[in-house]
């Protein structure tokens, strides 16, 4: 805090401006993990002579309780990695984009170069020629994009719909709830039926597992609903395995049974909802036999699932974002948001819909700096359409005028994470596209940049951390000075604003000022929570009442103040095996297998660690420990039909691209479905994935992707064929 040093007593140690003097001496600094994960783990960095020497989970945090996940346990190796980018660089003249051919420059030269090129692009084409491209490389509210958004709004650049992930789930729940608050995930401790629908909790939300285990110890039944037998599915009481893209049909089958057997809470529907009769009518054709035909789930399982949800209470549906990555993902989330209303599950603490908690924070942590509105508001593009935007100069088929000729990338690696990768790479390779990348390492995207600017890590900058998996707000204090010449993204945009002569409100605010601005709220959920308290305590739970049930205890923020139900549409996506057989039989014949791109490894869940061999899964490493790449999960039935045995090299392809990788013949995927892990650097699974977005402005339909698989070259399968 400027101009003052404050000391508090907290949990038995002395705390000075967010720093702790450990009982054994040395300096400890509280912070919190920034990764795109629901858990937002609290951590403590130990600093010795200006160097971070230890990073451990904070044992006092009520939810994360001192445990960091396997990828973050080695985070300091990343901070001090020999390959880390530590100085600004520009592309060597004449070198080909995609080659890491760069030369170091100073910050003054880098800022002048970037500001000059952006100004030239704006002068030639107008400000909308500039495209910011950013996502959740950090989830910190300040470093994720607060200053960047101010900068690009002042410039008048094209707006980016950051909808690669998350928004479709929000929209589906919002269709029912208005502002879609869900139950506090910690209240799952009180549930007696928990449906983990399309979420792999043990791997991607590991700190919730203790609440689930506590509920099970008290008699709860935990069910996974997922097309793939995930790590979580192997550890729960039951696994229900629908065919890909048939979730809405399964919900309709459950509603049919609930109505048939008298488990509909008519009083709740009459008091809190509209459209219940339309929902029930749409479920009438989906008796258990029809549901089995539509989903592949046995009729008896449909009956059991519905009855258990209705009678073993409290009952909750836990859903995050995996389910949304489909053409009709919004409808699936809408369906799941309706299910607890049908049985009146919201009456009980521990009952209802348990989804992202992001909405709680979004209500109260608001940037006070105004943005352009109305006719002054620039155009927007969906980040999932980057390949189309850069290659075709269109967005969802509509020509872009002006075209994008300058792009600034931060907190993101679009060359790896964006669907239709071949188109994205072709766009990044354009000679007439000026690209700036703020990064910590030479990622796939950075290799295509004209200028690369070194960014700080989480232990080197200040940030305010919310969560989409719990209700605790955390403060991340910088533990060390920036390594090398790295700068926080916020400082880069402040310097660019000065160099470009932008003087809009808020562009000179420092990071601490922005934290204070976010906390300056009169909302009761933030009452008594300020920077001083966060400094003293490390984290504070929002003042949401314990056991809060949004539709019962708070307002339903729809126009009429009632949950909006209505008929459900079970149509599968056009690029699922079921949907393609109806919509495009020729495509279904050429590419008969559905592809899912999932996060499945505890040390490697996204592109943060996609280029680090030490984080790659064991099954993807050679005998000498070097990474060999991802593997394809394929069911024995589909493998046998193609002459593939375990370990064979196969080609996976469709009309977007192809990739070659070893096959793993396993029954955790069902017949007709293959799976490849997401996030590897280089030519990865996004060479195949579907960039289609949902019916509004939703997320990319990664999981609605059709492929074919063929065996390549010599391998175990070839030897088997010779023996035959």
Digit-coded pLDDT (tens) for 140-180? 999 999 999 999 999 999 999 988 888 899 999 999 999 99
Give long-range contacts, CB 8 A cutoff, 24+ apart: 507-510. Answer: 507/147, 507/150, 507/151, 507/154, 509/147
pLDDT at 610: 62
Q: Give the span between the Cα atoms of 483 and 54, in whole angstroms.
A: 16
pTM value? Answer: 0.92
> Strands of 19-21's sheet, edge to edge?
7-10, 13-16, 19-21, 27-32, 42-48, 51-57
Contacts of 722 (CB under 8 A, 6+ apart): none
Q: How is 192-220 classified by DSSP, letter by letter? A: SEEEEES--HHHHSGGGHHHHHHHHHTT-
Whole-number pLDDT of residue 245: 94
Grade residue 716 by pLDDT with cuts at 50, 70 and 90.
low
The rounded distance, in Å, linking the Cα atoms of 125 and 114 is: 16
d(Cα 160, Cα 410) in Å, to the nearest integer? 12
pLDDT tens, position by position, 494-553: 999 999 999 999 999 999 999 999 999 999 999 999 999 999 999 999 999 999 999 999
- Give 203-243 pLDDT, tens digit per residue: 889 999 999 999 999 999 999 999 999 999 999 999 999 99
The CATH number assigned to the domain with range 89-165+363-541 reads 3.40.50.740
Q: Are 483 and 83 in contact (CB under 8 A)?
A: no
Backbone torsions φ then ψ of 199, nearest 5 degrees: -135, 135
Q: For the chain, what percent of residues have pLDDT higher than 90? A: 83
Q: Is the pLDDT of residue 9 over 70?
A: no
Superfamily (CATH H level) for 168-355+555-564: Dimethylsulfoxide Reductase, domain 2 (3.40.228.10)
* Over residues 631-655, mean pLDDT: 97
Angle CA 226–231–232, to nearest 5: 65
CA distance 633 to 707: 13
Quote the pLDDT of residue 10. 29
Length, in residues, of the chain: 724
CA distance 68 to 465: 16
Q: How confident is the model at residue 715 (pLDDT cuts 50, 70, 90)?
A: low
Report the chain's mean pLDDT, rounded to a whole number: 91
* pLDDT score for 724: 40
- Nearest-CA neighbor of 353 among 327, 330, 334? 334
Sign of CA dihedral 362, 367, 371, 377: negative
How many CB atoms are located within 10 Å of the residue 117 CB? 18
Predicted confidence (pLDDT) at residue 2 exceeds the cutoff of 70: no
Q: What is the pLDDT of residues 376-389, one digit of tens each?
A: 999 999 999 999 99
**What is the per-residue pLDDT for 692?**
84
State the CATH architecture for 577-723: Beta Barrel (2.40)
Look at residue 656 and give its three-state secondary structure. Answer: coil
Looking at mean pLDDT, say which of 428-437, 623-632, 674-683 comes out highest.
428-437
Nearest to 69 by CA among 114, 39, 102: 39
* Choice between 428 and 682, residue whose per-residue pLDDT is larger: 428
Note the Cα 493 to chain centre separation in Å. Answer: 25
Q: What's the pLDDT score for residue 684? A: 87
Crossing angle between the packed helical segments 288-295 and 299-311, to the nearest 10 degrees: 110
For the chain, domain boundaries:
89-165+363-541, 168-355+555-564, 577-723
Share of the chain above pLDDT 70, in %: 90
């Amino acid at each position: 805090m400027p101009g003052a040093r404050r000391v508090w007593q907290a949990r038995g140690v002395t705390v000075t401006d967010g720093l702790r003097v450990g009982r054994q001496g040395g300096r400890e600094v509280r912070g919190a993990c920034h990764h795109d994960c629901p858990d937002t783990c609290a951590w403590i960095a130990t600093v010795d002579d200006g160097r971070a020497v230890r990073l451990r989970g904070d044992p006092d945090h009520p939810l994360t309780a001192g445990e960091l996940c396997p990828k973050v346990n080695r985070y300091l190796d990343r901070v001090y990695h020999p390959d880390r980018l530590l100085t600004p660089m520009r592309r060597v003249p004449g070198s080909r984009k995609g080659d890491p051919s760069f030369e170091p420059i100073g910050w003054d030269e880098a800022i002048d170069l970037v500001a000059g090129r952006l100004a030239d692009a704006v002068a030639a084409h107008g400000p909308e020629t500039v495209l910011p491209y950013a996502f959740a490389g950090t989830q910190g509210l300040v470093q994720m994009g607060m200053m960047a958004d101010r900068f690009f709004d002042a410039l008048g650049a094209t707006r980016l719909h950051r909808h690669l992930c998350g928004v479709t789930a929000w929209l589906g729940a919002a269709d029912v709830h208005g502002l879609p608050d869900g139950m506090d995930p910690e209240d799952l401790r009180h549930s007696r039926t928990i449906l983990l629908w399309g979420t792999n909790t043990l791997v991607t939300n590991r700190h919730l597992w203790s609440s689930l285990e506590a509920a099970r110890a008290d008699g709860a039944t935990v069910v996974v609903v997922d097309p793939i037998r995930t790590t979580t599915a192997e550890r729960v009481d039951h696994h229900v395995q629908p065919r890909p893209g048939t979730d809405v049909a399964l919900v309709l089958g459950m509603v049919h049974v609930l109505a048939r057997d008298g488990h509909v809470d008519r009083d709740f529907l009459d008091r809190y909802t509209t459209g219940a009769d339309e929902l029930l009518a749409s479920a009438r054709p989906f008796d258990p036999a029809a549901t089995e035909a539509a989903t592949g789930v046995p009729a008896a399982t449909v009956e059991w699932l519905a009855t258990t949800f209705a009678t073993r209470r409290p009952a909750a549906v836990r859903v995050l974002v995996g389910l949304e990555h489909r053409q009709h993902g919004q409808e699936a989330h809408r369906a799941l948001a309706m299910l607890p209303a049908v049985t009146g599950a919201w009456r009980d603490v521990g009952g209802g819909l348990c989804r992202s908690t992001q909405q709680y924070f979004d209500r109260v942590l608001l940037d006070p700096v105004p943005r352009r509105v109305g006719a002054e508001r620039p155009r927007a593009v969906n980040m999932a359409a980057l390949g189309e935007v850069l290659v075709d100069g269109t967005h969802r088929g509509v020509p872009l005028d002006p075209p994008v000729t300058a792009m600034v990338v931060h907190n993101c690696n679009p060359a790896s994470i964006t669907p239709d990768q071949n188109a994205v790479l072709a766009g990044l390779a354009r000679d007439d596209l000026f690209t700036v990348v703020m990064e910590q390492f030479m990622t796939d995207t950075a290799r295509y940049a004209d200028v690369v600017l070194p960014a700080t890590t989480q232990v080197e900058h200040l940030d305010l951390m919310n969560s989409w998996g719990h209700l605790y707000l955390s403060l991340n204090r910088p533990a060390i000075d920036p390594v090398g010449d790295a700068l926080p993204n916020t400082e880069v945009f402040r310097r660019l604003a000065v160099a470009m002569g932008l003087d809009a409100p808020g562009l000179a605010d420092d990071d601490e000022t922005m934290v204070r601005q976010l906390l300056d709220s009169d909302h009761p959920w933030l009452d008594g929570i300020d920077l001083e308290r966060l400094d003293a305590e490390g984290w504070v739970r929002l003042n949401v009442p314990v056991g809060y049930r949004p539709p019962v205890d708070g307002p339903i923020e729809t126009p009429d103040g009632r949950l909006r139900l209505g008929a459900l549409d079970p149509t599968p996506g056009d690029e699922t095996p079921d949907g393609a057989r109806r919509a495009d039989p020729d495509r279904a014949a050429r590419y008969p297998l559905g592809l899912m791109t999932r996060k499945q490894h505890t040390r490697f869940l996204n592109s943060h660690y996609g280029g680090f061999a030490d984080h790659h899964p064991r099954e993807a490493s050679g005998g000498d420990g070097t990474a060999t790449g991802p593997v394809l999960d394929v069911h024995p039935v589909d493998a046998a039909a193609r002459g593939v045995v375990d370990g064979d090299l196969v080609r996976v392809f469709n009309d977007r691209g192809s990739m070659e990788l070893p096959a793993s013949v396993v029954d955790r995927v069902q017949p007709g479905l293959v799976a490849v892990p997401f996030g590897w650097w280089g030519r990865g699974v996004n060479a195949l994935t579907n960039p289609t977005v949902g019916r509004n402005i939703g997320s990319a339909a990664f999981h609605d992707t059709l492929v074919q698989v063929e065996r390549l070259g010599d391998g175990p399968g070839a030897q088997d064929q010779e023996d035959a």
